[in-house]
Amino acid sequence: MKLVLIGAPAAGKGTQARKLIEKYHLAYISTGDMLREEVAKGTELGLKVKSIMASGSLVSDDLIIAIVKERIKADDCKNGFILDGFPRTVVQAEKLDELIGSVDTTIYIKCPDDVLLKRITARQTCPKCGATYNKISVPSKVAGICDVCGTKLVQRKDDTIEAGKARLATFHQQSEPLVAYYKAQGKLFEVDGLMGLDNITKAIFARLGE
């Protein structure tokens, strides 16, 4: 099963990805995480990526495709995989199709911007242990204090209203052509991101089958 997951920040992609991995034994492939890992490990690729990012440029489609091409050869991909954060553009989607034939389903968790903004700005993280909370959906036991280590929680810079709005604008600009691309292929499954985590999971499982 070859899946692509599309959703704005705070749409609940991570939660649904975990459910999908559990049920269908898929590999989870986040190109963003992979790039960060390579940079952290200081591999040849990581150094290359670091210098590209330092120059303010984006990592090229060819480089990302090369990374995905290698990744999907790994053993854990034998039942299939979920791609998160890739493809980001129609050009990348076309290259992905060249690589794997075509995806089976692209799941788009759709959510109105005002709801997403509320969720984004409700996020809190612990500066000491890295635990994450959400004032609306996953509150800490004591407001503003980390359950794990008792440290005062903070809001990340990109979780403010202004930064959140900018991230959502970027998401729409990039994803709308992508959504249209998969829709035209008949591969798009759009799910209402407001119906609750469990109902979203049920809807996705119903679409993908046993």
Site residues, Zn ion (CB under 5 A): 126, 128-129, 131, 146, 148-149, 151
Select 132 or 137, whichever has its Cβ closest to Zn ion. Answer: 132
Q: Which residues have a Cβ under 8 Å from the Cβ of 59 and sit 6 or more positions away? A: 35, 49, 52, 53
Neighbours of 70 (CB within 10 A): 11
Task: Please pick, among 128, 167, 183, 202, the residue that the annotation labels catalytic.
Answer: 167
Find the shortest distance in angstroms from Cβ 153 to Zn ion. 8
**123: annotated active-site residue:** yes
Distance CA 8, CA 119 (A): 11
- Among residues 2, 95, 119, 123, the one annotated as catalytic is 123
Do residues 31 and 64 touch, judged by C-beta distance below 8 A?
yes
Task: Tell me whether residue 156 is one of the annotated catalytic residues.
Answer: yes
Catalytic residue among 2, 13, 95, 119: 13
Rounded to the nearest whole angstrom, what is the least distance from the CB of residue 148 to Zn ion in the complex? 4
- The distance of closest approach from Cβ of residue 150 to Zn ion in the complex, given in angstroms and rounded to an integer, is 7
SS3 readout for 107-130: EEEECCHHHHHHHHHCEEECCCCC
- Active site residue ranges: 13, 88, 123, 156, 167
